[in-house]
Copies of this chain bind each other. A is one copy, B any other.
Amino acid sequence: MFNQFRSKFPLSEEKWNQYMGYFNRIEVPAKTTLLEEGEISKKLFVIEKGCIRVWFNHNGKDLTSQFFFENQSVASIESFMKKFPSPVFVETIEPSVLWWIHKNDVDTIIEEIKEIPELRDRLIDMLFQRTFDYMKHFFSFIKDSPAQRYQSLIEEKPQIVQRVPQHYIASYLGVSTVHLSRIKSKLLREK
């Protein structure tokens, strides 16, 4: 699973093996809850196969805020980093093969990584990049209609449209399931 990334990390064989030893492989069915709302996140997941969504309950409605696929890492990030009760659920969409690592071990790795300039800079870059991604997503809500947001999703994140049930996508785009269905049928008719 992780050997494909080996060459990207300037670590000794011992360190690499130590870090790899922290990970645990699990296989779970679809709709498995990996983290409950209110719980404090202790595990970071990496997806070998499958897909995961992050969602929360608002006035009885199931609202999805993020999707994750193969080779991405997933956690309720604020809960995981700051030990807050998680505002969100983390749940598999498809049957999945996951690797998880305990927060204590992540902390160990980060403390050590911070002393390696190349990796420390990479960490900081990742944080910036994530911020940029959120900014872009936020911009789309003030400049685009739901139909345009759906178009962008098809072009920029086709995996979501192809693999995720439509009613999860609807809340991610900020519209009702009925309206998303309308958007799709209008797109078809216009082709």
Interface locus among A7-15, A29-37, A135-143, A153-161: A135-143
Cross-chain contact B131 with A127 (CB below 8 angstroms): yes
Nearest Cβ in chain B — how far from A91, in angstroms?
A: 17
Cross-chain contact B81 with A128 (CB below 8 angstroms): yes
In the complex, what residues of B have CB within 8 A of residue A114's CB? 117, 120
Classify the interface of chain A: helix, strand, loop or mixed.
helix
Give residues of chain A (31-80) contacting chain B, Cβ–Cβ below 8 Å.
Answer: 56, 58, 63, 65, 77-78
In the complex, what residues of B have CB within 8 A of residue A100's CB? none
Number of copies: 2
Nearest Cβ in chain B — how far from A172, in angstroms?
A: 7
Chain A residues within 8 Å of B, Cβ to Cβ: 56, 58, 63, 65, 77-78, 81, 114, 117, 120, 123-124, 127-128, 130-132, 134-135, 137-139, 141-143, 171-172, 174
Cross-chain contact A174 with B141 (CB below 8 angstroms): yes
Closest to A141 in B: B141
A78 to B127, CA, bound (A): 12
Cross-chain contact B143 with A58 (CB below 8 angstroms): yes
Nearest Cβ in chain B — how far from A174, in angstroms?
A: 5
Nearest Cβ in chain B — how far from A116, in angstroms?
A: 12
Nearest Cβ in chain B — how far from A88, in angstroms?
A: 9
Q: What would 4 more interface pairs be, CB under 8 Å, given A78-B132, A114-B117, A134-B135?
A: A56-B139, A65-B142, A131-B134, A138-B141
Closest to A171 in B: B142
